[in-house]
Amino acid sequence: MVGTRRMIALLFLVAVFASAAVDGCTPSDRAALLAFKAALNEPYLGIFNSWKGYDCCHGWYGVQCDPELRRVADITLRGESEDPIFQKAHRTGYMTGSISPAICKLDRLSSLIIADWKGVSGPIPACISSLPFLRHLDLTGNRISGEIPADIGRLSRLAVLHLADNLITGRIPRSLTNLSSLMHLDLRNNSIRGTIPRNFGKMKMLSRALFSHNRLQGFIPGSFSAIYRLSDLDLSFNRLSGPIPESLGKMSVLATLNLDVNYISGTIPASLVNSRIGTLNLSRNAIEGPIPDAFGPRSYFTVLDLSYNKLKGNIPKSIASATFIGHLDVSHNHLCGPIPAGSPFDHLEASSFVANDCLCGKPLKAC
Ligand SMILES: *[C@@H]1O[C@H](CO)[C@@H](O)[C@H](O)[C@H]1NC(C)=O
Ligand SMILES: *[C@@H]1O[C@H](CO)[C@@H](O)[C@H](O)[C@H]1NC(C)=O
Ligand SMILES: *[C@@H]1O[C@H](CO)[C@@H](O)[C@H](O)[C@H]1NC(C)=O
In a domain, 3, yes or no: no
Instruction: Say how many C-beta atoms besides its own lie within 10 A of residue 157's C-beta.
Output: 15
Which ligand 1 atom sits nearest the alpha carbon of residue 143? 5
In a domain, 9, yes or no: no
**Closest ligand by atom to 180 CA:** 2
Is the CB of residue 188 less than 8 Å from the CB of residue 209? no
Residue 11 has pLDDT above 70, yes or no: no
Name the nearest CA neighbour of 215 among 238, 195, 231.
Answer: 238
pLDDT per position as a tens digit, 195-225 = 999 999 999 999 999 999 999 999 999 999 9
Distance (Å, rounded) from C-alpha 129 to C-alpha 177? 14
Cis peptide before 344 (omega within 30 of 0): yes
Which ligand 1 atom sits nearest the alpha carbon of residue 142? 5
In a domain, 320, yes or no: yes
One domain, residues 138 and 234: no
In a domain, 144, yes or no: yes
When divided into structural domains, the chain yields a total of 2
Q: What is the span of the domain harbouring residue 286? A: 195-203+212-367
358 vs 343 pLDDT, higher one: 358
pLDDT at residue 329, as a whole number: 97
Residue 22 has pLDDT above 80, yes or no: no
In a domain, 47, yes or no: no
If DSSP codes are grouped into helix, strand and coil, which group holds residue 270?
Answer: helix
One domain, residues 180 and 222: no
pLDDT per position as a tens digit, 264-292 = 999 999 999 999 999 999 999 999 999 99
pLDDT per position as a tens digit, 313-349 = 999 999 999 999 999 999 999 999 999 988 778 889 9
In a domain, 1, yes or no: no
Last residue of a domain, one of 159, 193, 227: 193
Residue 9 has pLDDT above 60, yes or no: no
Residue 24 has pLDDT above 80, yes or no: no
Fill in the amino acid letter for 217.
Answer: Q
One domain, residues 158 and 242: no
Is there an atom of ligand 1 within 6 Å of 213 CB?
A: yes
Residue 354 has pLDDT above 50, yes or no: yes
One domain, residues 115 and 236: no
> Which residues, in sequence order, are bridge partners of residue 216?
194
Last residue of a domain, one of 193, 222, 253: 193
What is the DSSP pairing of strand 310-313 with strand 288-289? parallel
Is there an atom of ligand 3 within 6 Å of 309 CB?
A: no
